[in-house]
């Protein structure tokens, strides 16, 4: 690629290093994170057209699932989905039970199943309400709670998620305008709604960090293929012939590389510079959120990666059990000394006669219990529970009596693993959301639309309790706290309200 980084004015940003990131590192990153997403989504891949599929094994089908790549060849009949056949081994019954997806989704529900409250820590009550309105407009325009849920899914699968803040062109115009601007809350809200919050998938992210501090982002590079709303031209006869043979014309796509710095940005398409410009913010407009904090690594801990070996083992044993049941589920009979049996109907109530005194009918087959097999599958499921911290109880599956679950303490003890993991995520995601809000306020301040100080841009994110709550019990607890001397403002904050300056109670902004 013909990179030229003169615009950035940084001798330490080398074209050769970015070329290595795009041409070599991106492929490694794509394979690693692509496998994590495939195990979560478990996509269905067609192997052939239904009308053309022949008998390929003991079970027939025109598709394979993504998680089949972890099964041994003795079950799938191939070394990998789409690879050559593994000798004379034929495909057996393949059973895929995706225990990863529902655990990830359950964790997302615990974290962002209810709207979160974003509270300003500005000194003036009026400014607090204005800032909360501005931040609510930003997140509301980008999907509200759906945006947070998408963020949590990406972070849980990949181990981290990056959010790129893209201001509208009008905000750039306000920033570079030499005319004096009159601060306006309504204008700030209008410009805030036009700010895009773009969640970047991990396979696209190629961050350039400080050499001496992995926590500091120096430049942000993302490389991806962008589909276009056009079809590649097929002018020649050969191209039309090949396109017809392959099922039609191909959709056009562009290979895009973006380099974003604190003072400038560039965009390359198919190796050529497509756009560039200065950046007035003075910081890289990207917020990095680790799923679960992992020291000395840019990436956080993925919820999917440690579950992959256990998921493969579970699918293998379930497939083995299905194959065994297929072989043994039906009773079979061996006839000896009975002539022309193939001409006689075999059905209930039929009697066969023979003059051979040594004739016999022997029964074999039929399913038999395999306690060790069932115990092993149960132990694998328990290992998945311990590794993920999410048990089937979270999904509402109760196999036995677990005591008095109407007690709040008993319920919390039962869900201790899930709740403790959720608390860890609240810290990382809460800090990331607060940083997003602060970054938006900083942009509005630099543009002169809504001036704020560093102290005024303090943000707190409050997560609701994921467990069912009794409103009466919460009010009684609040009353007791007031009697003990806890401040009224603190009690209202815990209840989900904020004390206003005129003595009324205003509900906090929830997104």
Tens digits of per-residue pLDDT, 1-35? 689 999 999 999 999 999 999 999 999 999 999 99
* DSSP type of residue 406: T
3-state SS class at 224: strand
Rounded to the nearest 10 degrees, the angle between the axes of helix 125-141 and helix 185-193 is: 20
Which two tokens mark 73?
Answer: 């060849």
Which two tokens mark 433?
Answer: 């959301």
In this structure, are residues 134 and 192 in contact, taking their beta carbons and an 8 Å threshold?
Answer: yes
Rounded to the nearest 10 degrees, the angle between the axes of helix 416-447 and helix 99-112 is: 60
In this structure, are residues 410 and 403 in contact, taking their beta carbons and an 8 Å threshold?
Answer: yes
d(CA 266, CA 1): 13
In this structure, are residues 387 and 421 in contact, taking their beta carbons and an 8 Å threshold?
Answer: no
DSSP string, 30-65: HHHHHHHHHHHH--EEE-S-TTT----BSS--SEEE
3-state SS class at 177: coil
CA angle at 117 for the pair 116 and 121, rounded to the nearest 5°: 145
Tens digits of per-residue pLDDT, 416-474? 778 888 999 999 999 999 999 999 999 999 988 999 999 999 999 989 888 767 678 78
**Confidence at residue 507, expressed as pLDDT on a 0 to 100 scale:** 44
**Confidence at residue 408, expressed as pLDDT on a 0 to 100 scale:** 63
- Count of residues in the chain: 511
In this structure, are residues 379 and 314 in contact, taking their beta carbons and an 8 Å threshold?
Answer: no
In this structure, are residues 67 and 99 in contact, taking their beta carbons and an 8 Å threshold?
Answer: no
d(CA 379, CA 370): 15
Contacts of 8 by beta carbon, 8 Å cutoff, 6+ apart = 219, 259, 261, 263, 264, 266
Phi, psi torsion values for 509, nearest 5 degrees: -70, 125
d(CA 83, CA 45): 13
Which two tokens mark 336?
Answer: 């000896």
Sign of CA dihedral 477, 478, 479, 484: positive
Which two tokens mark 485?
Answer: 């001397």
d(CA 92, CA 78): 11
Which two tokens mark 3?
Answer: 């990179």
d(CA 279, CA 176): 10
User: pLDDT by residue for the chain (511 residues), tens digit each?
Assistant: 689 999 999 999 999 999 999 999 999 999 999 999 999 999 988 876 444 444 444 455 678 899 999 999 888 887 655 555 556 677 888 999 999 999 999 999 999 998 998 989 998 989 999 999 999 999 999 999 999 999 999 999 999 999 999 999 989 888 887 776 778 899 999 999 999 999 999 999 999 999 888 889 999 999 999 988 888 765 555 555 555 555 556 788 899 999 999 999 999 999 899 999 999 999 999 999 999 988 889 999 999 999 999 999 999 999 988 888 777 766 777 788 877 767 767 677 777 788 888 888 877 766 667 788 888 888 888 888 888 888 777 766 665 555 555 566 666 666 777 888 899 999 999 999 999 999 999 999 998 899 999 999 999 998 988 876 767 878 888 888 888 888 887 787 777 665 443 444 444 455 6
Closest C-alpha among 397, 367, 388, 376 to residue 314: 376
**Confidence at residue 457, expressed as pLDDT on a 0 to 100 scale:** 94
**Confidence at residue 502, expressed as pLDDT on a 0 to 100 scale:** 42
**Confidence at residue 54, expressed as pLDDT on a 0 to 100 scale:** 46
What CA–CA distances, in Å, run from 347 to 329, 342, 352, 439? 18, 13, 11, 78
d(CA 274, CA 268): 5
Whole-model pTM? 0.82
Which two tokens mark 113?
Answer: 């199943």
d(CA 262, CA 256): 20
d(CA 505, CA 395): 36
**Confidence at residue 86, expressed as pLDDT on a 0 to 100 scale:** 53
Which two tokens mark 251?
Answer: 């959709």
**Confidence at residue 247, expressed as pLDDT on a 0 to 100 scale:** 55
Ramachandran area for residue 270 (φ above 0: left; ψ -120 to 50: alpha; else beta): left
Phi, psi torsion values for 152, nearest 5 degrees: -70, -35
d(CA 139, CA 145): 8
d(CA 304, CA 319): 21
Domain borders along the chain are 469-511
In this structure, are residues 71 and 319 in contact, taking their beta carbons and an 8 Å threshold?
Answer: yes
């Amino acid at each position: 690629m013909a990179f030229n980084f003169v615009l950035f004015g940084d001798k330490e940003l080398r074209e050769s290093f970015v070329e290595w990131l795009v041409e070599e590192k991106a492929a490694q990153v794509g394979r690693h994170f692509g496998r994590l997403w495939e195990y979560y989504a478990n996509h269905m891949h067609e192997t052939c057209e239904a009308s053309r599929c022949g008998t390929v094994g003991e079970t027939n089908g025109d598709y394979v699932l993504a998680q089949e790549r972890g099964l041994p060849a003795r079950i799938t009949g191939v070394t990998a989905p789409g690879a050559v056949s593994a000798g004379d081994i034929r495909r057996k019954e393949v059973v895929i039970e995706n225990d990863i997806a529902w655990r990830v989704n359950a964790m997302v529900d615990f974290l962002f199943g209810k709207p979160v409250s974003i509270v300003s820590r500005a000194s003036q009550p009026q400014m607090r309400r204005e800032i909360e309105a501005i931040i609510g407009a930003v997140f509301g325009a980008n999907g509200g709670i759906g945006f947070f849920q998408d963020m949590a899914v990406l972070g849980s699968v990949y181990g981290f998620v990056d959010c790129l803040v893209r201001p509208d062109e009008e905000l750039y115009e306000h920033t570079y305008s030499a005319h004096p601007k009159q601060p306006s809350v309504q204008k700030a809200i209008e410009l805030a709604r036009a700010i895009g919050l773009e969640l970047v998938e991990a396979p696209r992210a190629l961050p350039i960090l400080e050499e001496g501090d992995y926590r500091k982002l120096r430049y942000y590079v993302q490389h991806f293929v962008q589909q276009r709303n056009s079809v590649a031209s097929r002018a020649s006869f050969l191209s039309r012939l090949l396109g017809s043979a392959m099922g039609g014309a191909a959709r056009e796509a562009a290979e895009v590389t973006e380099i974003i710095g604190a003072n400038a940005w560039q965009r390359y398409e198919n190796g050529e510079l497509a756009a560039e410009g200065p950046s007035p913010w003075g910081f890289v407009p990207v917020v990095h959120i680790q799923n679960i904090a992992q020291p000395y690594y840019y990436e956080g801990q993925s919820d999917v990666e440690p579950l992959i070996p256990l998921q493969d083992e579970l699918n293998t044993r379930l497939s083995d059990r299905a194959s065994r049941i297929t072989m043994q589920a039906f009773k079979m009979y061996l006839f000896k000394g009975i002539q022309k049996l193939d001409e006689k109907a075999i059905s209930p109530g039929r009697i066969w006669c023979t003059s051979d005194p040594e004739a016999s009918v022997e029964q074999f087959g039929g399913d038999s219990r395999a306690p060790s097999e069932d115990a092993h599958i149960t132990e694998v499921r328990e290992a998945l529970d311990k590794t993920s911290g999410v048990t089937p109880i979270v999904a509402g599956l109760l196999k036995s009596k677990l005591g008095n679950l109407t007690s709040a303490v008993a319920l919390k003890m039962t869900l201790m693993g899930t709740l403790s993991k959720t608390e860890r995520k609240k810290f990382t995601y809460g800090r990331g959301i607060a940083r997003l809000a602060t970054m938006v306020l900083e942009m509005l301040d630099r543009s002169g639309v809504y001036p704020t100080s560093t102290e005024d841009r303090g943000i707190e994110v409050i997560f609701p309790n994921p467990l069912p709550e009794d409103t009466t019990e919460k009010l009684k607890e609040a009353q007791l706290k007031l009697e003990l001397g806890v401040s009224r403002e603190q009690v209202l904050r815990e209840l989900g309200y904020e004390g206003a300056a005129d003595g009324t109670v205003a509900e906090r902004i929830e997104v």
